[in-house]
Structure 1
């Protein structure tokens, strides 16, 4: 059943439509597809691995992306929520279930994970602030784009933000924790094993 939040923000999107804005938002939201987001995130993760001299960026992105896509698929199948009517949406239309928003969830995961390692790679505090602002803005705008195009209800997007933040935080905590404690994950690239 829809609530007032879903219908309110759906109508907000409908009221602000225009051909130019529809095309621009569609182009942006397409970045959130798995086919585009992972090819963009993967080389960035390897670059951060080289800069930080640690395998943590690559491992965390791989783990978080796998959990993100699996979680989205499983929850969609369990909840089975219908999307807004195609008559209200901007094409191309989506045909999978609506809850949660996969674009939003995956964008949140990748933005937070890559934002974390990018912030670690710089020294200046104000640059770190800009990195985090850009990461959060990307995740926020991805969610808003899904509502604007009527591809998702607002509560689908809210769930995507929440699940994405949880998955990113858990993946970062696990990989960083194991790496620092000398677990089964690779140690920093430049750090040789200490002599015993």
Structure 2
């Protein structure tokens, strides 16, 4: 009887386990950004773009008002403009901290898998995963995209949902690299 049960179970090719942390959640957010090439390209330059756009608007307003260089460089004019730009940059930085650190940390704490151990078994037919009181299984064809990012492999099953597989879930970097090759073969093959 046990032989039949063992015959019905697929052979595990790779296995991994780790505790899902806030760093993993943040990496998942970055991986989702990477799915949108425009957003991924713009994100690191957001402050430079903000300052550049505002500078272009300021130059247009100076040109439109027909101000001379002497008037623009006068302390009266600069004392009005510089605090506005400094305030704008501080507001943007605070908003960035709010939306990139504080709110995500608050959201992460509400995840059922937050700071819980996860275990994965990868076999030729699909993927099995489990955590405290949860388990799931799906076939490789459900993986729509793979994203590699700084010691992580993300197996996306939709635009928002992905399995986060960090390198630390494996015994060595070599084992992780073998798994990455295996996963890419299963998805693209």
Please give the range of the TM-score, normalised by the shorter of the 2 chains. under 0.3
Q: TM-score, normalised by structure 1?
A: 0.25
Indicate the structure (1 or 2) with the bigger Cα radius of gyration: 2
The structure where strand makes up a greater share of residues is 2
